[in-house]
């Protein structure tokens, strides 16, 4: 990935108009180009866009604020959906099927659910489930509901406004009545919830007695949760990681480059050691010609510290008194530590234990909190840490807002969207200018009308104002026409684009970062809380990154 040009301490910015960063609207402004596909050898190229490598728009890095990599002493990663990009069509389908099985066999839902199928492309991040009403919402940054579906049926404008637009006290749209779809892990449960809402409406007698929409959501959540805990998902991934996780040949060169830069590197994941080892081994191991994987611990060489079972976001609370155990990689055994320092077990001498623990180039732990991590990495100030994650709440919010870590959010969905926005950049700029022109004239008209109504003028002055008003009104009509024409051209241009590009914006939910002209709630969270974000595709190194916050 290479996130920052700053690996040799130079930052290169693009002006707002040159950058797809403008797609973020209000805040995001600058993009850094730094990825290429040559591995470690390309270090010099990553340092600046003038380095000679033209980078695909979908693989650029978007930043809300520049970051001087000179100050970053440690770079950390989340694992699931950050380093490991799961394939939704297999992985999320597995979660979907596992959840249905539990609903039917453990929670009394009818067996016909077993025939249901999952569309992994239907739901998107940033949506909000209204658990009580059975609705799925997309809202803008001010939390105004812009799109609302009851199950899979779109609410009429009247119903939408009647339900969400008229409350005197603004709804916060947060837990416990609402659920945020803020991780890719939640797409399957959101889809299943919509299916159950439709099913209940059409077959009221068939869902378990007393199961209202909220109750059904609770059942789905509990079943999904169990799938993550009881091995339903992890056993299957462990058997055949390639089926569920995208291979990424750029990850190892990225780690090598980070190590060569002299920075500390760490992994903090909520997954436990056994699973972490399987996934990281898959991502970092060299594959034999027959596709088989040699399972070893080589990947540990890329890290100073690995924290598994971290229980984020709780991990980011320094006052969290979570015990930290050392993991013995070979056996998976947990060993007691004294706040991360190896502790002699009864029967072994303290010097033996200390030597064994401290000689390792990478130490693996389970649990603990951020204070332990800082101590293990000798971090003096949290602003020296950059952390890359995929979950706004789990990975970014607290680590950035309270601790002051620099943070980066992975948004794989954007890679495709920015390509389309780039294709349309001239037209979009023209549309923006025409809209501004129209708004300006409308403002002047409003002003004049107001003055004519409430202020007193001489007759000749009044006459002048009335004729000015007439002129402005005709200007406004022209501006409206020009804007409409540009909008038509824009649609026409979209129609003319290759089919694959046209399909980029979601057919139901539209652009991820926008609702109409406003930033979506998801975009707002992103620009408000995270530092930046790389996104998926084949190579994390080449991923799209959004920087925000701070």
Ligand X SMILES: Nc1nc2c(ncn2[C@@H]2O[C@H](COP(=O)(O)O)[C@@H](O)[C@H]2O)c(=O)[nH]1
Name the binding residues. 78, 80, 390
Tokens of 369: 């909190």
Report the residue from 269, 277, 366, 511 that binds ligand X according to the rule CB under 6 A: 269
Q: Active-site residues: which are they?
A: 78, 80
Work out how close the CB of 267 gets to ligand X at its nearest, in angstroms, rounded to a whole number. 8
d(CA 377, CA 363): 11
Work out how close the CB of 1 gets to Mg ion at its nearest, in angstroms, rounded to a whole number. 15
Binding map of ligand X across residues 284-323, x = CB under 6 A, - = no contact: ----------------------------x-----------
Establish if 225 lies at the interface with ligand X (CB under 6 A).
yes
d(CA 338, CA 325): 9
Q: Toward ligand X, which CB reaches closer, 229 or 502?
A: 229
Q: Toward Mg ion, which CB reaches closer, 23 or 184?
A: 184
Binding map of Mg ion across residues 376-415, x = CB under 5 A, - = no contact: --------------x-------------------------
Angle, helices 414-423/425-454, rounded to nearest 10 degrees? 70
Binding map of ligand X across residues 167-186, x = CB under 6 A, - = no contact: ------------------x-
Report the residue from 80, 130, 248, 415 that binds ligand X according to the rule CB under 6 A: 80
Contact segment (CB under 6 A) with ligand X among 61-69, 223-231, 401-409, 471-479 equals 223-231
Establish if 370 lies at the interface with ligand X (CB under 6 A).
no
Q: In this structure, are residues 373 and 269 in contact, taking their beta carbons and an 8 Å threshold? A: no
Work out how close the CB of 55 gets to Mg ion at its nearest, in angstroms, rounded to a whole number. 25
d(CA 231, CA 274): 11
Tokens of 340: 């991360």
Q: In this structure, are residues 35 and 537 in contact, taking their beta carbons and an 8 Å threshold? A: no
Judged by CB under 6 A, how many residues of this single chain contact ligand X? Answer: 13
Establish if 366 lies at the interface with ligand X (CB under 6 A).
no
**CA-wise closest residue to 10 among 29, 33, 27, 26:** 33
Report the residue from 80, 140, 219, 304 that binds Mg ion according to the rule CB under 5 A: 80
d(CA 182, CA 393): 8
d(CA 244, CA 235): 11
Chain-centroid distance of CA 418 in Å reads 15
Chain-centroid distance of CA 141 in Å reads 16
Tokens of 312: 């984020």
From the list ligand X, Mg ion, none, which binds 229 (C-beta under 5 to 8 Å, kind-based)? ligand X
Tokens of 519: 């930033």
Q: In this structure, are residues 151 and 197 in contact, taking their beta carbons and an 8 Å threshold? A: yes
Tokens of 139: 């809202």
Work out how close the CB of 390 gets to ligand X at its nearest, in angstroms, rounded to a whole number. 6
Q: Toward Mg ion, which CB reaches closer, 61 or 184?
A: 184
Establish if 182 lies at the interface with Mg ion (CB under 5 A).
no
Establish if 86 lies at the interface with ligand X (CB under 6 A).
no
Establish if 278 lies at the interface with ligand X (CB under 6 A).
no
Work out how close the CB of 327 gets to Mg ion at its nearest, in angstroms, rounded to a whole number. 19
* CB atoms near residue 501 (< 10 Å): 15
Report the residue from 229, 243, 432, 446 that binds ligand X according to the rule CB under 6 A: 229
Report the residue from 29, 195, 232, 270 that binds ligand X according to the rule CB under 6 A: 270
| Tokens 């380093």 -> residue | 83
Work out how close the CB of 254 gets to ligand X at its nearest, in angstroms, rounded to a whole number. 17
Tokens of 457: 């003028």
87-78-406 Cα angle (round to 5): 130
* CB atoms near residue 253 (< 10 Å): 19
**CA-wise closest residue to 6 among 29, 30, 34, 31:** 34
From the list Mg ion, ligand X, none, which binds 224 (C-beta under 5 to 8 Å, kind-based)? ligand X
Which residues are part of a known binding site for GMP?
80
Interface ranges with Mg ion (CB under 5 A): 78, 80-81, 390
Interface ranges with ligand X (CB under 6 A): 78-81, 185, 224-225, 228-229, 269-271, 312
């Amino acid at each position: 990935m290479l996130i920052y040009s700053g690996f040799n301490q130079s930052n290169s910015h693009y002006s707002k108009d040159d950058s797809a960063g403008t797609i973020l609207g209000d805040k995001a402004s600058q993009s850094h180009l730094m990825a290429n596909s040559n591995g470690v050898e390309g270090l010099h190229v990553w340092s600046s866009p003038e380095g000679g490598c033209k980078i695909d728009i979908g693989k650029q890095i978007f930043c809300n604020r520049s970051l001087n990599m000179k100050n970053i002493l440690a770079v950390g990663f989340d694992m699931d959906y950050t380093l490991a990009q799961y394939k939704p069509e297999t992985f999320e389908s597995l979660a979907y099927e596992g959840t249905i099985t539990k609903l039917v066999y453990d929670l009394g839902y009818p067996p016909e659910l077993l025939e249901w199928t999952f569309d992994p492309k239907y739901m998107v991040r940033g949506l909000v489930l209204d658990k009580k009403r059975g609705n799925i919402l997309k809202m803008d940054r001010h939390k105004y509901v812009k799109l609302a579906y009851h199950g899979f049926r779109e609410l009429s404008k009247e119903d939408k406004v009647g339900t969400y637009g008229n409350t005197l006290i603004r709804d916060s749209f947060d837990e416990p009545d609402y659920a945020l779809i803020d991780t890719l892990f939640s797409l399957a449960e959101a889809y299943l919830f919509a299916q159950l809402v439709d099913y209940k409406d059409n077959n009221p007698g068939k869902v378990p007695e007393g199961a209202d929409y909220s109750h059904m959501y609770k059942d789905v959540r509990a079943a999904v949760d169990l799938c993550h805990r009881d091995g339903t998902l992890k056993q299957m991934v462990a058997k055949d990681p390639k089926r569920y996780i995208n291979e990424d040949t750029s990850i190892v060169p990225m780690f090598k480059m980070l190590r060569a830069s002299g920075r500390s590197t760490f992994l903090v994941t909520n997954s436990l050691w056994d699973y972490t080892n399987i996934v990281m081994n898959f991502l970092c191991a060299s594959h034999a010609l027959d596709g088989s994987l040699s399972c070893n611990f080589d990947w540990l060489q890329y890290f100073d510290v690995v924290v598994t079972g971290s229980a984020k976001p709780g991990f980011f609370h320094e006052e969290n008194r979570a015990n930290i155990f050392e993991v013995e990689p070979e056996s998976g055994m947990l060993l007691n530590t004294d706040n991360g320092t190896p502790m002699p077990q009864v029967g072994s001498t303290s010097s033996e234990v200390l030597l064994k623990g401290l000689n390792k180039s990478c130490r693996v732990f389970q649990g603990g909190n951020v204070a332990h991590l800082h101590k293990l990495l000798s971090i003096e100030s949290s602003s020296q840490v950059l952390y890359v994650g995929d979950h706004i709440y789990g990975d970014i919010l607290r680590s950035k807002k309270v601790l002051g870590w620099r943070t980066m959010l992975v948004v794989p969905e954007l890679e495709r969207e920015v390509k389309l926005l780039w294709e349309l950049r001239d037209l979009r700029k023209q549309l923006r200018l025409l809209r501004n022109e129209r708004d300006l004239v409308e403002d002047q008209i409003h002003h004049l009308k107001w003055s004519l109504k409430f202020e007193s003028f001489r007759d000749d002055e009044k006459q002048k104002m009335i004729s000015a008003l007439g002129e402005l009104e005709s200007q406004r009509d022209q501006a409206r026409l020009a804007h409409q024409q540009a909008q038509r051209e824009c649609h026409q241009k979209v129609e003319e684009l290759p089919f694959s590009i046209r399909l980029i914006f979601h057919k139901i939910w539209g652009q991820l970062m926008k609702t109409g002209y406003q930033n979506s709630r998801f975009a707002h969270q992103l620009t408000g809380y995270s530092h930046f974000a790389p996104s998926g595709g084949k190579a994390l190194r080449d991923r799209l990154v959004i920087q925000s916050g701070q």
